[in-house]
């Protein structure tokens, strides 16, 4: 099993982390309602040139994690704790103004819905040049040829003409490309992509994923890829974090994780996806129940009611993380175990 051991470690594992998230917690408190731990102690590292995936079902806290790191959570009604060390500074304690300076220049973000993250009344070209004017102090004249270059690089045909277009005049795929161009405008060192292809068709998704892959290789940008699609993860990410109920329940290099998943939830997810290359009529084995059945993490494993591997301890205490910052899981009775 030495081979497993070896490939389980994602590439880039040796260099210093660029972003190091430790014990991130986000608690929402709405008037007249109980506290809700959307993110419940998440830790992970991102190294330069590495693509780290956060996967999980709707509501598991993927977006909130990224928004907390970016300092973009709505101001009231939430509490954030833990740390997110980026280049020696804790992003969570930076002043809003300092954070604004980092955003767009050193850390950039791409969202799921490109239409609502673009300003509908400003032309694409203007939106791209604005970022450069703000962060690099270029004049509009200087920025325009750069914008053309950027649009070309992300694969927008006829970029000069497109500069004058408004977001609604572009197709979904083109909008997402424009958004990526904006994110890349200042050569960020870290790119966070929150379901960047979920709203797109598969053929367009393939184009965007190929583009992201190429950018990571060319520029050495670190990429945090948030998605619910294990297929996307399998093709793109060096390291994968599987989230459930606000906690990372399993982590591993992509080859190791897919070959030898340990946490029953990861296994359940893999078994419940219909695969293009599987025979017809093969029954899927879904994860029973839904997230509504979750137990609180404080005194149990949240996944226990839906788990096929459940043992008595699962409903009595919180499973602790077993492993390190590179591979590990959080389960009393993990599956596989060949490594």
Partner 1 sequence: MNDTTNHTTDDSTDHSTDDRTEDARGARPTFGQRRKDRIDQLATAGTVDDEPGVSLIRSAWKRLRRNPIFLIGAAITLAFIVLAIISPWIAPWDVTARPLLDKVRPQSNPVPGPEPGHFLGADDRGRDLFSRLLVGSRQTLIVGVVATLFGLLGGLTLGTIAGAVGGWVDSLVMRIVDVMLSIPSLLLAFTVASLARNPSQWTLVIAIAIIQVPIFARLLRGSMLAQRASDHVLAARSLGVRPTAIVFRHMLPNALGPVIVQATLSLAVAIIDAAALSFLGLGNPDQSQPEWGQMLGRAQPFITEAPHLAFYPAGCIIVVALGFTLMGESLREALDPKTRR
Partner 2 sequence: MTQTSESSSDATSDGTDVLVEASDLEVYFPIKSGIIFDRTVGHVRAVDGVDLTIHRGETYGLVGESGCGKSTLGKAILNLEPPTAGSVVFDGTDIASLKGEDLRRERKRFQMVFQDPMSSLDPRQTVENLLLEGMRAHGLDTDKDATRARLRELMSSVGLPVAALSKYPHEFSGGQRQRIGIARALSVGPDLIVADEPVSALDVSIQAQVINLLQDLQDELGLTYLVVAHDLAVVRHISDRIGVMYLGGLVEESDGAELYDVPLHPYTRALMSAVPVPDPQVEDSREQILLTGDLPSPANPPSGCRFHTRCPWKQETLCDTERPQLRVVEVDGASASHRVACHYAEQVASGEIQPHQVEAVSVESGFTGPVDGPDAPPEAYVGV
Binding site for partner 2 (CB under 8 A): 57-58, 155-158, 161-162, 165-166, 168-174, 201-207, 209-210, 228-235, 254-255, 258, 268-280, 282-288, 290-292, 306
Of the two residues 147 and 193, which places its CB atom closer to ligand ATP in the complex? 193
Cβ–Cβ < 8 Å for 233, 257: no
CB of 223 to partner 2, least distance (A): 16
Residues 160-179, mask of contacts with Mg ion (x by CB under 5 A): --------------------
* Nearest residue to 244 via CA among 56, 53, 38, 25: 56
For tokens 């591979």, name the residue.
Answer: 327
Distance, in Å, from the CA atom of 51 to the CA atom of 217, rounded to the nearest integer, reads: 10
Cβ–Cβ < 8 Å for 81, 269: no
Rounded to the nearest 10°, the torsion over CA 111, 113, 115, 117 is -30
38 binds ligand ATP (CB under 6 A): yes
Give the number of residues written for the chain: 339
325 binds partner 1 (CB under 8 A): yes
Residues 36 to 75: which contact partner 1 by CB under 8 A? 41, 43
Distance, in Å, from the CA atom of 222 to the CA atom of 297, rounded to the nearest integer, reads: 31
Q: Which of partner 1, partner 2, ligand ATP, none has residue 64 at its interface (CB below 5 to 8 Å by kind)?
A: ligand ATP
Q: What sign for the dihedral angle of Cα 38, 44, 49, 51?
A: negative
Distance, in Å, from the CA atom of 238 to the CA atom of 128, rounded to the nearest integer, reads: 30
Residues 170 to 229: which contact ligand ATP by CB under 6 A? 228
Count of Cβ atoms closer than 10 Å to residue 203 Cβ: 8
Residues 102 to 141: which contact partner 1 by CB under 8 A? none
Residues 45-84, mask of contacts with Mg ion (x by CB under 5 A): ------------------x---------------------
Of the two residues 284 and 311, which places its CB atom closer to partner 2 in the complex? 284
Of the two residues 177 and 247, which places its CB atom closer to partner 1 in the complex? 247
* Nearest residue to 58 via CA among 193, 197, 194, 228: 228
Residues forming the site for partner 1 (CB under 8 A): 22-23, 32-33, 41, 43, 286, 288-290, 292-293, 305-306, 308, 310-313, 319-325, 328, 330-333
Residues forming the site for ligand ATP (CB under 6 A): 28, 36, 38, 56, 58-64, 74, 228
């Amino acid at each position: 099993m030495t081979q497993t051991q070896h490939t389980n470690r994602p590439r880039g594992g040796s260099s210093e982390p660029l972003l190091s998230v430790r014990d991130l917690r986000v608690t929402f408190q709405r008037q007249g309602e109980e506290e809700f731990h959307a993110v419940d102690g998440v830790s992970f590292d991102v190294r330069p040139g590495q693509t780290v995936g956060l996967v999980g079902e709707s509501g598991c806290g993927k977006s909130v994690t990224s928004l907390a790191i970016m300092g973009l959570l709505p101001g009231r009604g939430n509490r954030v704790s833990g740390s997110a060390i980026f280049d020696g500074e804790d992003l969570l304690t930076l002043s809003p103004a300092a954070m604004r300076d980092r955003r767009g220049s050193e850390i950039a973000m791409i969202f799921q819905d490109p239409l609502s993250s673009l300003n509908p009344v400003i032309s694409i070209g203007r939106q791209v040049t604005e970022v450069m004017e703000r962060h690099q102090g270029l004049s509009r004249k200087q920025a325009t040829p750069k914008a053309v270059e950027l649009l070309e690089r992300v694969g927008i045909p006829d970029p000069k003409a497109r500069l004058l277009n408004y977001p609604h005049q572009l197709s979904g795929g083109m909008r997402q490309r424009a958004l990526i161009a904006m994110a890349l405008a200042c050569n960020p060192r870290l790119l966070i992509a929150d379901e960047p292809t979920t709203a797109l068709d598969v053929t367009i998704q393939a184009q965007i994923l190929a583009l992201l892959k190429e950018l990571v290789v060319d520029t050495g940008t670190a990429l945090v890829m948030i998605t619910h699609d294990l297929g996307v993860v399998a093709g793109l990410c060096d390291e994968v974090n599987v989230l459930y109920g606000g906690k990372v329940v399993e982590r591993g290099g992509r080859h190791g994780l897919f070959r030898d998943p340990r946490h029953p939830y990861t296994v359940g997810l893999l078994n419940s996806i219909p695969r293009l290359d599987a025979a017809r009529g093969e029954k899927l084995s879904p994860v029973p129940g839904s997230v509504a059945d979750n137990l609180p993490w404080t005194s149990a494993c949240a996944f226990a009611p839906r788990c096929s591997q459940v043992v008595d301890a699962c409903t009595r205490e919180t499973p602790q993380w077993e492993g390190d910052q590179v591979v590990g899981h959080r389960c009393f009775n993990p599956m596989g175990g060949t490594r």
